[in-house]
Amino acid sequence: MSGGDTAPRVVEDLFGIVQILSDATVVRSDEPVLQPKEAYPDVPGVQWKDVVYHAVHGLRVRVYRPAPLAGSGSSKLPVLVYFHGGGYCMGSFTQPYFHSFCLRAAQELPAVVLSVQYRLAPEHRLPAAIHDGAGFLSWLRGQAELGAGADPWLAESADFARTFVSGVSAGANLAHHVTVQVASGQLAVSPVRVVGYVLLSAFFGGAERTAGETDPPADVSLTVEMSDQFWHMSLPVGASRDHPVANPFGPESPGLALVDLPPALVVAPGSDVLRDHVRGYAASLKKLGKAVEVAVFEGEQHSFSVLRPFGEAADELLRVLRRFVYTATER
């Protein structure tokens, strides 16, 4: 070989999990940072299985359904679509944090929970993940149209007319965008009916710093630097944090005044550098006259629902979620 060393070098590193090399190659390793130190307890009485919803991209959904309640008059349950977190760059529906929360949600709501895999950046920069979320809802529409010919668990247990779209962190961001697509008529999902959406520790951003970012709380699980890096590695190259995916009420974003959004539950942890973005989102919805419930969890970190899925705050969150789901379905 002539010349100097031409081996690609690392130009961007995300926790050693995702590295971008100088030749634009992406190297991805295991994600120990997202594995709990101790095994979580099982949740008895909940069945789960993985189903492929997009064969070309190899994308799966994990389907959870609880055992029928004794004496229940109907076997059909609300459907909770759930998108995992990870800054659009890492995370998996299979990881114990997300898996345990979904097990609990299926049992305690109760509901059919659908935990959706989507493509990750930087290999697949945004809006790829949002396209996958929309694609999943199209798959779900197809299942609803099949009736008794749908996946047996969905045919037996899912009430498609009581569907909620939810997610945590980046998954909450994704839930917002696909819900807007449905509510604005861009994405046809009937006979699926989205009657509410749930944002848990939503991953929003903006070019202008908020008070929570300039003077962050102590002991945060997500730092400003981490948030910035996630956006830098997931947004289209050259985009700022005012990109419509990051900042849904920013200067580059389409207006939502005429969009008939379903009721929203916005969960805002108090010890989160993104708390002002989350509360600002809810305030903007209220200003537009949208139905929104804000549940503030003071002292809790970003993504507390999955970082401590068996903690007291998660217990309370599931009670709030249950009330929201069953109130919305009674409207």
**Looking at 277, 302, 303, 305, which residue is catalytic?**
302
Which residues does 50 contact at the CB level (< 8 Å), separation at least 6? 60, 61, 62, 63
Angle subtended at Cα 162 by Cα 157 and Cα 163, rounded to the nearest 5 degrees: 90
Report the DSSP beta bridge partners of residue 295: 267
Annotated catalytic residue, options 272, 276, 277, 305 = 272
Q: Is 302 a catalytic residue?
A: yes
Q: Is 272 a catalytic residue?
A: yes
Q: Pick the catalytic residue: 100, 166, 169, 227?
A: 169
Question: In terms of DSSP bridges, do strands 26-28 and 46-54 run parallel, antiparallel, or are they unpaired?
Answer: unpaired
Task: Select from 206, 304, 287 the least CA-distant residue to 247.
Answer: 206
Please give the DSSP secondary-structure letter assigned to residue 77: E
Give the whole-angstrom CA distance, residue 242 versus residue 240.
Answer: 5
User: CA–CA distance from 246 to each of 80, 114, 126, 252 (Å)?
Assistant: 23, 24, 10, 10
169 given a catalytic annotation: yes
Joined together, the tokens standing for residue 63 give: 């389907």
Task: Please identify every residue annotated as catalytic.
Answer: 169, 272, 302
